[in-house]
A and B are shown apart, each in its own frame.
Chain A
Amino acid sequence: MSEQLSVPVALQRGRPLGWWGMLMLVATEAVLFGSMIASYFYLRFRTPQWPPVGVPEPKVLYPVLLTVVLVLSSLPAAVASRSARRGRPGQAAWGLVATLALASVYAAGTSVLVVRAWHHAGAQRDAYDSLFFTLQGAHVAHVAVGVLINLFLVGKLSRGRLTRYRANGIWAMSLYWHFVNVLAVGVLLTTISPAL
């Protein structure tokens, strides 16, 4: 054996395993939403009128504004991930806090809209309502999960220590975050499509 096979321990050349794992989770969740959105259009095109008679068209303005706010949160998430990889815990924590702030605005605003709509009609009237609320609910749940992970990481970072394990966690979290934002656009376009 002539070639030396010692391993450069400090060096990390590939993406961390956790990032790849998150990619798989994101892929499978994307298909989940894809299935739901496909069901939406499947039922829509088998129904003569969509939304059905007597059901008002979906509101457009507020959902669009809220989604813009959410999509903007990808920026601080990217900053957090980048600073964590470069070993700057303070900057990473601020990135996460900014992400949290924007996401909270979205989650709160969307929840208000959804709850209002629910009081108005509920999901039990028709397939149209059922799909509307299922899509919205599923997406808000995904944002909520992101918020929880984010809070946990902020708590960990607030102690001022940043290990490679945590930096990888933030990296994977930011991937999830970008994905949730892409989903938001998909869900938004689907739910407001009858009004366009």
Chain B
Amino acid sequence: MSTVVGREELERLELLWAERSGLKTFLTTCDHKKIGTRYLVTSFVFFVAGGVAALTMRTQLATANGGIVGPKVYNELFSMHGVTMIFFFVTPMLNGFGNYMVPLQIGARDMAFPRMNALSYWIFLASGLFMYSSFLVGAAPDDGWFNYTPLAEHAFTPGRNIDFYNLGLLFLTVSSTVGATNFLVTIFKLRAPGMSLNRIPLFCWGIAAQSFSLIFALPALSAANIFLELERRFGFHFFDRANGGDALLWQHLFWIFGHPDVYIIFLPAVGIVSTIVPVFARRSMIAHDWLALATMATAFIGFGVWVHHMFATGLSNVTYAFYSAASMVIVIPSGVQIFGWLATLLKGRPVIRSPLLYILGFVVTFVIGGVTGVMFAAIPFDQQVTDTYFVVAHFHYVLFGGAVFPIFAAIHYWYPKLTGRMLDERLATWSFWTFFVGFNLTFFPMHVLGLLGEPRRVYTYHSGFGWGIWNLISTIGAFTLAAGILGTVVNVVRSRRAGAVAGPDPWGANTLEWATSSPPPEYNFPSIPVVRSVDPNWDVEDRRDDIRRLEHAELTLTGGHETIGTDWLDGNIEEVHEGPAESPWPLLLALALSWFFLAFLAGHWVLAGIGAALTAAAVGGWQLKEPGE
């Protein structure tokens, strides 16, 4: 900075925020950028684990009567593949981007609750390890990711498999709830001055919609898991008909959570698409407000369609008609978004770079998945193909197309911000095409297999059905897809050192994360930016004002770990919030909870009681010191 005042302010910020490197800081940091990066790396490791399960299954199914794995292992593989991809990869991966980018995009210095942010990461990691430790004792969850009763009841699955599922998900729910709370309060209370509701970046809307859905959907899953665990361990009755229970109760509770969960996965991914499209179309997003509304509308409507997962369970026709209609309504907000992106691309001058390639790949695959989705809303068709590979094809087009393509776009788009380096564009392009071809080669033949009648979740098939060739193509596709992913991994690792230096804003982007250096300093912004439009980083004059403000020591907040609190509607300044710095309590609390869940799993009630007491003690310890003390 040119002036003395500005330089002094920067030094003061540096002193306040800089964290020493070392093990202690590693365990106690609450910096949202470090936590975000950890989320990304950890969930990517789970992605690889789930991918290895998938490749094993595809190898088994490559030919008729395959002999790689038996039915027991196959059941564990597809169950853990689903559980991993949904709970331990896609959602936390998107939360990783959220953790890193949301405070930057809204011009804040950290999340609303930095320690809770660390807590949600540690619990996510612990619950993931908890779930995967089931493999060590040879009792991984094996009743599918939706874990239907009566199969999941003690009488039919007596091992610990389902207890791992119930407890692991209850454990993870703590993390997701804490994270969702944090995101909502951050997005609605910590925005930069002037960032009124209609100027919130669309990625933040996606995260907000996801968090909202998590808050209201997860408890249904928790209730189901609590019921099932009480039934399995203590002989309660909720799902068995003989004692007044009902197996369908599980399905209702699960899908009341499960369908909103589709949007929990999809909406932040949509936010990524809406972030990248205007940058590479080189123009402001068309119908920005409509896209924000469509995001929230999808989240709302998503709570009213769960029965369409249960069209083959024999409920009344009136029920079916209602949910069929509701499911078709979802097409409207989805259509608004698709046309918003297309219009922006058509009216702009698209620059084709790797992030946009993945976005275009997303549009193609997601539209195919959407079309088969509308087919499912027609009940006779649904009943015809239920439990066949047609369903597998559909939800991979929706979830892989709808979430993993945007996640890869986000990796390519935000990599320069995280590392300060560019990815190799040539390798990225090659990886993309391998990825795209591999994806379609894997999942398109599954439509055919489904129509030919191949059931899902069966570990092998007879040679006489004529399914062999399609399965073989699908397996070849799976390995092609894996090669594409490997290309990206190589690129990410290599560019860390070899990549071209990115500078603060290599894409000429419109949102605030690009208004600071790459990677950003611990305090994110030297002076909190003041926003006057929906594309703040394209307002050159405003960004110059930020620098001028720093030189006058305005909005630099050098009294501690401070950030600005604004009112949720207009983004007017309300007050300065002081947040905590490093803290050991999030990790200790996560460890205490791990103790509790492990003891509970082992059925050792005394140890579980001690774990609960330790958890309470950790919550108390957390509260002993006040931020800034």
Chain A residues close to B by CB (< 8 Å): 1, 4-9, 11-14, 17, 20-21, 24-25, 27-29, 31-32, 34-36, 39, 42-43, 46-47, 52, 123-131, 133-134, 148, 152, 163, 165-166, 169
Q: Which residues of B lie under 8 Å from residue A12 when comparing CB positions? A: 574-575
Flag if B626 contacts A165 (CB, 8 Å): yes
A124 to B238, CA, bound (A): 10
CA distance in complex: A169, B623 (Å)? 10
Q: Total contacts A to B, CB within 8 angstroms? A: 140
Say yes or no: A148-B575 contact (C-beta < 8 A), given A32-B219, A134-B226: no
Of the listed stretches B181-189, B469-477, B489-497, name the one at the interface; the rest are far from the partner chain: B181-189
Check: B154 CB closer than 8 A to any chain A CB.
no
| Contact among B116, B215, B249 with A42 in the assembled complex (CB-CB below 8 Å) | B249
Within 8 A of A (CB), among B176-221: 177, 180-182, 184-185, 188-189, 193, 215-220
Please name 9 further chain A to chain B contacts, defined as beta carbons within 8 Å, in addition to the given A7-B575, A127-B237, sorted by A numbering. Answer: A7-B555, A13-B575, A24-B185, A35-B219, A35-B220, A42-B252, A127-B243, A129-B237, A165-B626
B152 beta carbon closer than 8 Å to chain A: no
In this assembly, does B549 line the interface, its C-beta being within 8 Å of a C-beta of chain A? Answer: yes
Stretch touching chain A among B228-236, B340-348, B376-384: B228-236
In the complex, what residue of chain A is closest to B566 when comparing beta carbons?
A14
> Are the C-beta atoms of A128 and B244 separated by less than 8 Å?
yes
**A24 near B215 (CB under 8 angstroms)?**
yes
Known: A43-B244, A127-B245, A165-B626. A1 touches B549 (CB 8 A): yes
**In angstroms, how far is the closest chain B Cβ from the Cβ of A175?**
13
Knowing A39-B238, A42-B252 touch, does A21 contact B219 (C-beta < 8 A)? no
What are the interface flags for B562-590 relative to A under an 8 Å C-beta threshold, 1 for contact and 0 otherwise?
Answer: 00110100000111110000000000000
- The closest CB in chain A to the CB of B188 belongs to A20
Interfacial residues of chain B within 380-399, with CB under 8 A of chain A in the complex: none
- Inter-chain contacts of A20 with B (CB < 8 A): 112, 184-185, 188-189
Interface residues, chain B, CB within 8 Å of chain A?
112-113, 116, 177, 180-182, 184-185, 188-189, 193, 215-220, 222-224, 226-227, 230-231, 234-238, 243-246, 249, 252-253, 256, 530, 545, 548-549, 552, 554-555, 557, 559, 564-565, 567, 573-577, 616, 620, 623, 626-627
Nearest neighbor of A8 in chain B, beta-carbon distance: B575
Label chain A's interface by main secondary structure.
helix
What chain A residues lie within 8 Å of B223 (beta carbons)? 32, 35-36, 39
Contact B565 A14 (CB under 8 A): yes
Residues of A within 8 A of B216 (CB): 27-28, 31
Docked-complex contact B181 and A21, CB < 8 angstroms: yes
CB contact under 8 A between A123 and B177, given known A14-B567, A20-B185, A24-B215: no
Contacts of B220 in A (CB 8 A): 31, 35
Query: B181: which A residues are within 8 A, CB to CB?
Result: 21, 24-25, 28
Contact of B249 with A17 in the complex, beta carbons under 8 Å: no
Please determine whether B112 and A31 come into contact, CB atoms closer than 8 angstroms: no
Residues of B within 8 A of A128 (CB): 244
B185/A21 in contact, CB under 8 A: yes
Tell me, in angstroms, the Cα distance from A166 to B623 when the chains sit together. Answer: 10
On chain A, the residues within 8 Å of B577 by CB distance are 17
Q: A7-B576, A31-B216, A134-B226 are in contact. Are A43 and B564 (CB under 8 A)?
A: no
Q: List 28 A-B contacts (CB under 8 A).
A: A4-B554, A5-B530, A5-B549, A5-B554, A13-B567, A14-B567, A17-B112, A17-B577, A21-B182, A24-B185, A24-B215, A25-B181, A28-B215, A28-B219, A31-B215, A32-B219, A35-B256, A39-B227, A42-B252, A123-B235, A123-B236, A126-B243, A126-B244, A128-B244, A129-B237, A130-B238, A134-B230, A169-B623
Question: Which chain B positions have C-beta within 8 A of A47?
Answer: 244
- What is the distance, in angstroms, from B62's C-beta to the closest C-beta of chain A? 42
A46 contacts B246, CB within 8 Å?
yes
Interfacial chain A residues near B218, Cβ < 8 Å: 28
Contact A134 B236 (CB under 8 A): yes
A127 to B552: give the CA distance in the assembly, Å: 69
**Nearest Cβ on chain B to A59's Cβ, whole angstroms:** 20
Point out the residue from B222, B231, B623 that lies within 8 Å of A152, measured CB to CB: B623
The answer to whether B555 touches A124, judged by C-beta atoms less than 8 angstroms apart, is: no
Is the beta-carbon distance between A152 and B530 smaller than 8 angstroms? no
Smallest Cβ distance from B396 to chain A, in angstroms?
A: 29
The answer for the CA separation of A25 and B177 in the assembled complex, in Å, is 8
A21-B112, A31-B216, A42-B246 given; A5·B555 CB < 8 A: yes
Of listed A28, A123, A166, residue having the most chain B CB within 10 A: A28
Nearest chain-B residue to A4 (Cβ)?
B554
Enumerate chain A residues within 8 angstroms of B564, measured Cβ to Cβ: 7
How long is the Cα–Cα vector from A52 to B219 in the complex, in angstroms? Answer: 28
Nearest Cβ in chain A — how far from B251, in angstroms? 11
Q: How distant is the Cα of A5 from the Cα of B554 in the complex, in angstroms? A: 6
Give the distance in Å from the alpha carbon of A16 to the alpha carbon of B604 in the complex: 41
Complex Cα–Cα for A152 and B230 (A): 31
| In the bound complex, CA of A124 to CA of B234 (Å) | 8
* Central interface residue in B181, B236, B554, B577, by most chain A CB within 10 Å: B236
CB of A173 to closest CB in B, whole Å: 11
Residue of B nearest to A52 (CB): B244
B215 x A27 contact (CB < 8 A): yes
The complex places the Cα of A21 from the Cα of B113 at a distance, in Å, of: 9
CB pair A1–B246 under 8 Å, yes or no, is no
CA distance A36 to B234 in the complex (A): 18
Q: Which residue of the partner chain A has the closest CB to B222?
A: A32
Interchain CA distance A36-B256 in the complex, whole Å: 13
Q: Report B-chain residues with C-beta under 8 Å of the C-beta of A8.
A: 575
Residues of chain A contacted by B249 (CB below 8 angstroms): 39, 42-43
Tell me the minimal C-beta distance from A67 to chain B in angstroms.
22
Question: Closest residue of chain A to B256, judged by CB?
Answer: A35
Residue of A nearest to B181 (CB): A24
- Residues on B with C-beta less than 8 A from A4 are 554
List the A side residues contacting B116 at CB < 8 Å. 21
A-B complex: 10 closest residue pairs judged by Cβ atoms: A127-B244, A32-B219, A35-B223, A130-B236, A24-B181, A31-B219, A124-B235, A14-B574, A165-B626, A127-B237
Among A134, A148, A152, contact of B227 (Cβ-Cβ < 8 Å)? A134
User: Taking A14-B565, A32-B222, A47-B244 as contacts, is the C-beta distance between A24 and B180 under 8 angstroms?
Assistant: yes
